[in-house]
Structure 1
Amino acid sequence: MTNAEGSIQLEGTVIECLRNANFRVELQNGHVVLAHISGKMRKNYIRVMPFDRVLVELTPYDLTRGRILFRHRN
């Protein structure tokens, strides 16, 4: 799924929590990316834990890094 700015949005699962609000996320297609939390998630104190399903935004320039936009409820 892409939005108007050209970024790619994919769903994935958090597999590891790292320092400074960074996470390793395994996407549905099997790729593993390094992602950080978006500003609105930080502002609203939304916690992300391992095995959470999340929506990740990737840029077409670097497909190994992304931004977590949304945490799905279980």
Structure 2
Amino acid sequence: MSNKDNLKVKEEKLKMKGTVIETLQGGNFKVKLENNVEIMANVSGKIRVFKIQILRGDTVEVELSPYDLTRGRIVYRIS
């Protein structure tokens, strides 16, 4: 039996688009999703490394865990 057989399958992340409505401290944001739900989101590592600025009113793509739909991670800035 190899290691590949022992690996568990990761849960799929939900990807949604939303608009940043408020900027908070520490790289956190309040994002209003397409379905009018407000969540807290933080920036992913790549956005932080490449110093991409996210401002109020920007459209972003957010990854949500199926376990906690109130928190997410901003993975892409659309505009």
Normalising by structure 1, what TM-score? Answer: 0.91
Larger radius of gyration: 2
Secondary structure (helix, strand or coil) at the match of 1:20 reads helix
Runs of 4+ more than 3 Å apart: none
1:46 aligned to which of 41, 52, 63: 52
Aligned length: 70
Offset at 1:70?
0.3
Name structure 2 gaps, 5 residues minimum. 1-9
Q: What amino acid maps onto 1:68 in structure 2? A: I
Higher helix share: 2
- Name the residue aligned to 2:64: 58
Normalising by structure 2, what TM-score? Answer: 0.86
RMSD, matched Cα: 1.0
Name structure 1 gaps, 5 residues minimum. none
